[in-house]
Structure 1
Amino acid sequence: MKKINYMVMGIMCSMLLVSCQQDMGTSEPVMNGMIMSDGQPDRQLMMASSNEDDILWEVSQAFNNMDAAGVFAHSTDTVRFISADGYRGPFTQAMMEEQFATLDSIHWNISAIIPVQGEGSESVSVLVDGSEEVWGKDGSYETYRLFERFVFEDGKFHTVYQWSGVIPEPDEE
């Protein structure tokens, strides 16, 4: 009798485990959000399932180490850059090296990395929320809130859009 009880319990546990398993091979991507065209919804967004979020994390680590070659290892040779300060144009590894040469250190504090993809598109946009602290060799210090969008194709980013807000100095009492 005990053998039958153990067998029945084993079968029931197996059935429970199998019924709770998700079929990972056929799951559909979650579609949500909208991409607009001429002020009207054009297509939906979905979470990207490739590794651009991991790539961007590597880029942030290279950036914090002021390693321009490490940053550009994951980009096209020239990146289209639309910066928060109004610059609109190409950005290269040499330009980043020049920028790093004026700094003592820099720290990109990331609070979120969100990879999204438009329905039917191969392009992936990685949205990054965070802040940046910049210490210049001239003794200057600045801190900014940042929101950025990195546009990837074939595992490399080619365009960066950037928005910022100055973080006010704390009131000293």
Structure 2
Amino acid sequence: MKKFVLVGALVASVFSVSAQTAGKIFSGTDAGKGFQLGSEKSSQVILDMVNAYNTNDAEKDLSFYSPEMQKKVGETITKYHKNAKTLNNKVYAILPIKITGSSDEIVMLQSTDERVSKDGSKQKMNLFELFKLDKNGKIADFNRYTSIPASNEYGKTEGGKYYSKAETNGRTFQFSNRGEVEMIEKFNKAYNAFDIPATMEFFADKINITDFDGNKIVLEKKDIPALFADMKSVDWKINAILPFKITNTDPASAIMVISTEKRVMKDGSVWDKSLVEYFYFNNDGKISGIDQYNRPKK
């Protein structure tokens, strides 16, 4: 943290000594142009905005944004302040720059942000933000980059622990994002509609299943149509989906699905349960395993 601040001070010093352009833009409409030091006025706008943010005043916070940005982010910022109990953004370094020949300025801000929500949750983030100010001194755009301290209550990219006798013992879990949630949603729709060809598309050629009674079954993809043979109707309602994988392993992942399911059989019997199921996706993104747990619906 201190090293970064010192580098920022050094850059500012170099800019103040020389009016020459420094750095270079490599893409977009400004490709080939460099940067110059911006104004202290722009820095003060951002510092005043931070002070408004810390008072948890949504209206005052938004007053530093351009009309276009207020339309774009106004609802989000208002809800954010409404849910916050206290906000404390501590600024470590600020540096205004501008693209050569432009009337707009960019303010780079390094800070930590400590947030306490009304629901009691707490979060501390290390932030690096780029604010673009228009010729009227209003925030016209911004980008935010974050790093999450190990002590943070939520928002971490990995956590928990996996216990096994394999080399993965002790490793953490992380969210997986290979389209598993969308696949389960599509599978849910196809299953309820008795769309057997669509249902089959989500599965590997062989599926290892531990069913609700603890029976271990190896189901072949070609046998899936038989599962529908005795059902008259089915209503599978999903309540929650959570995709995850073990850190530093191949792309294979799992997804926990909490749901209820009601099956009406052709013989008139009814199966109606609350479910927790784990669907395992292989490296090719196909369902290759299922573990199932159930209890009577209350």
TM-score, normalising length: structure 2:
0.48
CA displacement at 1:92 relative to structure 2? 2.8
CA displacement at 1:69 relative to structure 2? 2.4
Alignment of 1:1-173 (within 5 A): 10=134, 12-14=137-139, 17-18=141-142, 21-23=143-145, 30-38=157-165, 42-121=170-249, 122-153=251-282, 154-168=284-298
1:68 and 1:93 in contact (8 A); partners too: no
Secondary structure of 2:171's counterpart equals strand
What is the rounded CA distance, in whole Å, between the counterparts of 1:144 and 1:43 in structure 2?
A: 33
CA displacement at 1:116 relative to structure 2? 0.6
What is the rounded CA distance, in whole Å, between the counterparts of 1:44 and 1:105 in structure 2?
A: 40
What is the rounded CA distance, in whole Å, between the counterparts of 1:50 and 1:56 in structure 2?
A: 12
What is the rounded CA distance, in whole Å, between the counterparts of 1:145 and 1:158 in structure 2?
A: 23
CA displacement at 1:166 relative to structure 2? 1.7
Moved runs in structure 1, 4+ residues, more than 6 A? 6-9, 26-29
User: For residue 31 of structure 1, what is the amino acid of its counterpart?
Assistant: E
What is the rounded CA distance, in whole Å, between the counterparts of 2:295 and 2:206 in structure 1?
A: 26
- Structure 2's unaligned 5+ residue stretches are 1-65, 67-102, 105-132, 149-154
1:29 and 1:47 in contact (8 A); partners too: no
User: For residue 142 of structure 1, what is the amino acid of its counterpart?
Assistant: W
**RMSD (CA atoms):** 2.8
Change (3 A) 1:41 1:130: same
User: For residue 143 of structure 1, what is the amino acid of its counterpart?
Assistant: D
1:80 and 1:158 in contact (8 A); partners too: yes
Secondary structure of 2:141's counterpart equals helix
User: For residue 189 of structure 2, what is the amino acid of its counterpart?
Assistant: Q
Secondary structure of 1:130's counterpart equals strand
Secondary structure of 2:170's counterpart equals strand
What is the rounded CA distance, in whole Å, between the counterparts of 1:60 and 1:141 in structure 2?
A: 19
Change (3 A) 1:123 1:148: same
CA displacement at 1:54 relative to structure 2? 0.6
Q: Which has the higher strand share?
A: 1
TM-score, normalising length: structure 1:
0.79
Change (3 A) 1:64 1:113: same
User: For residue 13 of structure 1, what is the amino acid of its counterpart?
Assistant: K
CA displacement at 1:22 relative to structure 2? 2.5
User: For residue 196 of structure 2, what is the amino acid of its counterpart?
Assistant: A
User: For residue 66 of structure 1, what is the amino acid of its counterpart?
Assistant: F
Show CA shifts across 1:126-146 (max 9, x none). 110001100011111120111
Show CA shifts across 1:77-131 (max 9, x none). 1111111123211113443322211111011110011111110122111110001
Residue in structure 1 matched with residue 18 of structure 2 by the alignment: none
Which has the higher mean CA deviation after the structures are superposed, 136-145 or 89-98? 89-98
User: For residue 224 of structure 2, what is the amino acid of its counterpart?
Assistant: M
Percent of aligned positions that are identical: 20
Change (3 A) 1:109 1:33: same
